[in-house]
Amino acid sequence: MSDFNEQTQQADMGRTVSLSARARATLKMATGVTIGAIDLPLFETDTEAIRFACLLGLRYHGDTMPPLADGRDANAQTVINVGTLDTSAPSFISTVKLLAPDTVQKERLTRIVRAHAEWGLAQIQKWIEEAELEGDDLDLAHLVKKGEALLDGAEESV
């Protein structure tokens, strides 16, 4: 492990990530409800859902912090330790730091992760609701495609 990763991880270890009630509800749905033919929930664990949602927000917003919706802080509850997100290679934290180097300099890592995860989960919630409404299948491949489509438009506009 590089000195960079080691330093960042040591600095952020022991800190927890909190999520709003809505994000937690989405998290619960994404990990517990089967949508589609394959009879599998979208994510097997909260960790996987938070990583995906965080990356989705990070990609969408770039090296900037997304705005938090009103009232989300008041109902926020600790969901996961930030170190849990980085238990397997490649390093999730290192990736976040590479993708948002400026923001990392300004904000705490947990806050960056929470902000992007809240945004990403909200997007996932939206897609779930659309799929349920349309009766379409929705699995991770769909999520990736939808995310790529979303990001392509956003990045082109950027």
Partner 1 sequence: MAKPSLSFQHVTLENIGAYFGEHTVDFPSGHRNMMMIHGNNTGGKTSFINGLKWCLFHQISTSHEGLLDPFTLYNRKALAKGSAHPMSVTIEAEYNGQPIIINRTAKWLYDKTRPRSYEEVATGFTITQFDENGSRQPLSEEDSERFIRRIAPPVLGRFFLFDGELLSEYETLVSRSAGSNPKLGEAISGVLGLPVLEKAAGVLQAAKKEADRKNMTLARGESAEGLVERIKGLESNLERCTEECAEIDDQLDALGDSLAAAEAEYKSYAATEADLNQISVLEKHNADLDAEITRNQTTLAKASSNVWHDLAKPTLERQLDSLVSKSDALHQQSQQTLKRDHLEELRRALLDEEDCPVCLQHLKPDARASVKSMLDALDADREVRQQKTDDYEDLIAKRKEVERLSRAMTPIKTEYEMRTERIKEIVSTKARNLSEIDHIKSEANSISPDVIEGARKKVLSLTREQAALEEHKKTALKHQKDLEIEKDEQLSRMQSTIEHDEEAKQVKRVLSRLAHMESVIDQAKNRQAEAMRKKVEEYTSHAYRAMTHETHHAAVKIEPGTFNMTILDDENNPVTRPSSGATQILALALIISLGQIGRKIGPLVMDTPLGRLDPSHRIKVLSYLPQHTHQVVLLYHGGEIDKATYERVAKMGQIGKEYEISKGSAESSSRLVPKQSAAFSGGDDHE
**What are the residues binding partner 1 (CB under 8 A)?**
2, 4-5, 37-40, 42-45, 47-48, 51-52, 54-56, 59, 88-92, 94-95, 98-99, 139-141, 143-145, 147-148, 151
CB of 120 to partner 1, least distance (A): 9
Burial 9-44 (b: 16+ CB within 10 A, else e): beebeeeebbbbebbbebbebbbeeebeeeeebbbe
| Residues 31/45, Cβ–Cβ less than 8 Å | yes
Q: Which is nearer to partner 1, 45 or 75 (CB)?
A: 45
Q: Which is nearer to partner 1, 64 or 75 (CB)?
A: 64
What are residue 147's phi and psi, to 5 degrees? -65, -45
CB of 11 to partner 1, least distance (A): 16
Q: Which is nearer to partner 1, 77 or 87 (CB)?
A: 87
CB of 140 to partner 1, least distance (A): 5
Q: Which is nearer to partner 1, 51 or 72 (CB)?
A: 51
Write the DSSP symbol of residue 135.
T
Give the ranges where 13-139 is alpha helix by DSSP (H): 21-32, 46-61, 92-99, 101-106, 109-134
